[in-house]
Structure formats: structure tokens, C-alpha cells
């Protein structure tokens, strides 16, 4: 079993409050500069985007870039608008230690947006919260990415597989999820073949990134605070998936984002961290 270490990134006021209240060692980004009030549809804060690319290992005091396969580092941070920090964590951590690995993204959005010509001009070489998974597939040695969501009560769980094609980019496809739904005329639950579908793609080392905007409004509020929509996944289903992945011996890193001012976010973050802890022998270093 592996040791679990928790070290946070305070990207906004809610995440700073959470990390401080839990006594989690953390690096604080320039909140007064990051937490800007631009039109949310045009969130192009340069410093935020740069942190999504590089500097994560320095911010986290060298805890990612090391050849220690017996430690799982969990990095909780703030709003989904900083989810591109995952790309920096992968580049600083998993990418520097493992020859190949799988990214598992539990999120209401695939974060594999294809940029328009305008966005290419605006963002240049930066990575955004809308395309960081795609960029990780293209720019790192991640073998593939699995996207898990539940955003429609008539469909239920959906699983998408995105494959790294090297210099040719990436290739997305969906493994029979829609076909299954249409054939059986019922939404997919974890009691169907969803768990098996997830686990069959978790044979390589796994980097797990979680955006709690995947959750149902009855578990946490996202919609009142953000311009993007949240999902329909129930918290206990999320925790079951996290537990199944965590109990395998190939989990190599985790990050958690999606925090909003809803105080229930603190409990969701705690639940995720404690679930990963419970599958391992040692308590986290904080």
C-alpha cells in the first residue's frame, strides 16, 4: 500500500479557507490577481493560465518531481476555472516519473475543447480549463484519458475514452455507452457494467482528476456561482468510483477542484480525501 500526502493550492478565497481550516499545507497563488472579475465567459487571466502549464512543482516545494512510487500526492485547489492546473501537476509529477499512464477525469465536462482561431490567438501556447485534458494527451506521455460523467437523468453514466496519438494529437471515442442506453431504454447506473468499463481502462498507472461540478445540485451547488452547468452524479456514486480506483495499487496522483462558496464543498473534499486514505495504510502528511 502507498502513503498518502495532501498538499493544497489556494487559488481563491474558498479554497484558502478550506485548506486553512483543515490544516493542510498549501501554496498560495496571487489571489488578488487571480480572483479577477472579468466576464466569466472571457476568463483569460494570464497568470492563472501560466500556472496551468508550469511552476506547480516549485509551488508545491518539489513534492511532485521525485522517483518515489510509494507516495500518492493529493492536491486540492479551488474553482473549476483553475482545472487547467491539473495539466501542470501532470507535467511536474506523473509525466516526469512514469513512461506512460492513464488520466481519469471525473467531471461534468470533457475539458477537451478544440480551440477556434480566435481562441488560438488569445491563448497562444497556454492551457485553459476547457482544453487541459486534450493538451495533456498531446503534450505529455499520458497514454489515454477516461472521462466519466452523469449529466442526463435519461442517459445516466457516460464513459468516454480519449487516446494519445503522439504527434498526430488525440483520438476520442465512446465505448458503447450510448448504444447500451438506446438499446435498453434506461439510464446507466453503477449497478450496470459501468464499473467494469471504468476499471478495464485503469491497468496503467492512474492519475485521477476530479471536478465536483460533476455532482447533483442536491449534493453541492455549482450553478448559482458559475456560468457552466453541473452534472447529475450523486456524491455516493462519486465516492464509490474513487474508492474502486484508490484500492488498486496503481494510483499515482490526485487533484480535486470545483469548489464554490457552498459550504458543502468542504465535506465533499474531505470525503474524497478520506476515501483515498482509507484504501492505504498511512495517514496523510499535511
pLDDT along the chain (286 residues), means of 10: 89 93 88 38 39 62 72 92 86 82 92 59 62 83 90 84 67 51 65 79 93 96 83 96 92 94 97 93 50
pTM summary value: 0.84
Here the cell at position 173 is 471515442
Sheet containing 206-211: give its strands across.
3-6, 71-76, 251-257, 206-211, 101-106, 142-150, 157-164, 170-173
Residue 9 falls inside a structural domain: yes
CATH number at residue 148: 3.40.800.10
- Let me know if residue 124 belongs to a domain: yes
CA distance 206 to 63: 18
Domain annotation covers residue 122: yes
- Domain, as residue range, for 183: 3-36+45-278
Per the structure, how many domains does the chain have?
1
| Inside any domain, residue 285 | no
Amino acid at each position: 500500500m502507498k502513503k498518502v500526502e495532501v498538499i493544497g493550492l489556494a487559488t481563491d478565497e474558498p479554497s484558502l479557507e478550506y485548506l486553512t481550516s483543515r490544516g493542510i499545507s498549501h501554496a498560495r497563488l496571487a489571489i488578488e490577481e487571480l480572483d479577477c472579475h472579468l466576464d466569466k465567459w472571457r476568463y483569460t487571466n494570464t497568470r492563472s493560465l501560466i500556472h496551468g502549464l508550469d511552476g506547480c512543482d516549485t509551488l508545491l516545494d518539489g513534492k511532485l518531481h521525485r522517483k518515489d512510487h510509494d507516495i500518492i500526492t493529493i492536491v486540492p485547489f479551488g474553482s473549476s476555472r483553475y482545472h487547467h492546473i491539473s495539466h501542470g501537476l501532470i507535467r511536474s509529477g506523473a509525466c516526469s516519473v512514469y513512461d506512460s499512464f492513464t488520466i481519469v477525469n471525473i467531471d461534468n465536462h470533457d475539458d477537451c475543447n478544440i480551440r477556434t482561431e480566435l481562441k488560438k490567438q488569445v491563448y497562444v501556447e497556454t492551457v485553459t480549463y476547457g482544453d487541459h485534458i486534450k493538451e495533456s494527451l498531446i503534450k505529455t506521455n499520458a497514454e489515454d484519458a477516461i472521462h466519466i460523467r452523469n449529466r442526463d437523468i435519461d442517459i445516466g453514466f457516460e464513459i468516454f475514452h480519449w487516446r494519445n496519438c503522439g504527434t498526430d494529437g488525440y483520438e476520442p471515442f465512446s465505448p458503447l455507452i450510448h448504444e447500451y442506453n438506446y438499446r435498453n431504454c434506461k439510464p446507466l447506473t453503477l449497478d450496470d457494467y459501468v464499473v467494469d468499463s471504468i476499471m478495464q481502462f485503469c491497468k496503467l498507472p492512474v492519475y485521477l482528476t476530479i471536478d465536483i461540478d460533476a455532482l447533483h445540485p442536491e449534493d453541492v451547488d455549482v450553478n448559482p456561482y458559475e456560468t457552466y452547468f453541473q452534472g447529475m452524479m450523486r456524491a455516493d456514486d462519486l465516492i464509490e468510483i474513487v474508492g474502486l480506483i484508490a484500492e488498486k495499487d496503481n494510483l499515482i496522483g490526485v487533484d480535486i477542484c470545483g469548489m464554490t462558496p457552498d459550504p458543502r464543498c468542504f465535506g465533499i473534499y474531505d470525503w474524497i480525501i478520506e476515501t483515498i486514505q482509507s484504501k492505504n495504510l498511512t495517514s496523510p502528511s499535511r
